Amino acid sequence: MTGILFSKLLAIFIAAAMGWFVGHMRWLGKAGGETDPARVLSNLAFYLFVPALMFRTTARVDFQTLPWLTIAAFFAPVVLALLGVYLWQRSRRPDNPAVPAVRSITACFGNTLQVGVPLVAGVFGEDGLAVHITIVSLHALTLLSLATVLVESDLARHHASGASLLSTLGVTMRNTIIHPVVLPVLAGFAWNLTGLALPRVLDEVLQMLGSAVVPLCLVLIGMSLSYYGWPRAWRDMMGLLAVKLLLLPALVLVVAHWVFGLSGLGLAVIVMMAALPPGSNAMMFSQRYRTLEQEASGAVVVATLLFAVTAPLWLAIPVWLGR
């Protein structure tokens, strides 16, 4: 496990460092304005690559064969934690209405691909990877869609102060549905309901575009740190990381084991998934709404470092419970 974890984390840091170097040298241009290179690349990912990934995933998933008990045991506490962080941040009455949703996704969205897939494959084998991939197929669909609904409703209320409730609801619905995350998901569900397979050429195009999300986002982490610098409020960021690396896996462990009755491989895999550091989608989400870019980028890097320390703990506890 140590060798797999080290090599994967090192690869992430090297990719981010390359992005930082490109940003530091200003090879793609200077920061600021609508032509900010980091923002342009983030928009490219959010408007093209992520929608392709979302649509293909939703259109191809076989809902009849999914292990719904394991899925519920993972998503119930994770969604609860996301809403909890969101409400906690809203209670602080931030000036920027997008702050609660951005911080909630940073605290709850794990790096299930770059770190999760090789780690689970190396530690739990093919059986564990099958469970992991099942959760991954619904991970971004669930959490990004929920965060989108929250942030768009907050933005609609903020910009429509004094407007009627019906008008505010209309703006919220429109901005939530006509969105680069939610719309491809709905379109994918619609295609899935037809029972038709994706045409081969379309499937290959979507797969090619979707595969660009991971490397682009890793480079963007480094570029964002170069352009925007490290967060000024480390206390807030470390609080989110405590939720992600400690509180969230503990919550999944308690709910999955003592409420849903899971044990063994399924329990170990979903606890490990909950313990993963924040994924690059959190940074991309912050850039989409131009909110806390420094904090989100810094959180991904710092949490990935700390994960090397916390991972053995969350690998050991489910094994100990299974004895």
CATH of the domain at 95: 1.20.1530.20
pLDDT at 2: 59
Tally of structural domains, the chain:
1
> Is 82:151 a contact under the CB 8 Å cutoff?
no
In a domain, 315, yes or no: yes
pLDDT at 91: 95
pTM of structure: 0.80
Those residues whose C-beta lies under 8 Å from the C-beta of residue 127, and which sit 6 or more positions away, are 265
Which residue reads 């099942």 in tokens?
A: 134
Name the helix (H) or strand (E) containing 170: helix 165-177
Angle at 91 between CA 90 and CA 96, to 5 degrees: 40
Those residues whose C-beta lies under 8 Å from the C-beta of residue 239, and which sit 6 or more positions away, are none
Q: What is the signed CA dihedral for 225, 231, 235, 241, rounded to 10 degrees?
A: -30
- Secondary structure letter of residue 20 according to DSSP: H
In a domain, 69, yes or no: yes
Q: Is 178 exposed, middle or buried (0-12, 13-18, 19+ CB in 10 A)?
A: exposed
What is the chain's pLDDT, residue by residue, as a tens digit (323 residues)?
Answer: 556 667 777 887 888 889 999 988 888 888 766 678 888 888 888 888 888 887 888 888 787 878 899 999 999 999 999 999 999 999 998 889 999 999 999 999 998 877 887 678 777 877 887 788 788 878 887 898 889 889 988 888 887 765 555 665 666 667 666 767 778 878 888 998 999 999 999 999 999 998 887 788 778 888 888 887 777 778 899 999 999 999 999 999 999 999 999 988 889 999 999 999 998 888 888 988 889 988 998 898 899 889 888 988 898 887 677 65
What is the residue range of 285's domain?
A: 38-322
Q: Quick one: which of 153, 47, 139 has its CA closest to 100?
A: 153
What's the one-letter identity of residue 292?
L
Q: Is 201 exposed, middle or buried (0-12, 13-18, 19+ CB in 10 A)?
A: exposed
In a domain, 12, yes or no: no
> Is 106:295 a contact under the CB 8 Å cutoff?
yes
Those residues whose C-beta lies under 8 Å from the C-beta of residue 193, and which sit 6 or more positions away, are none
Q: How many CB atoms lie within 10 A of CB 227?
A: 22
pLDDT at 105: 95
In a domain, 32, yes or no: no
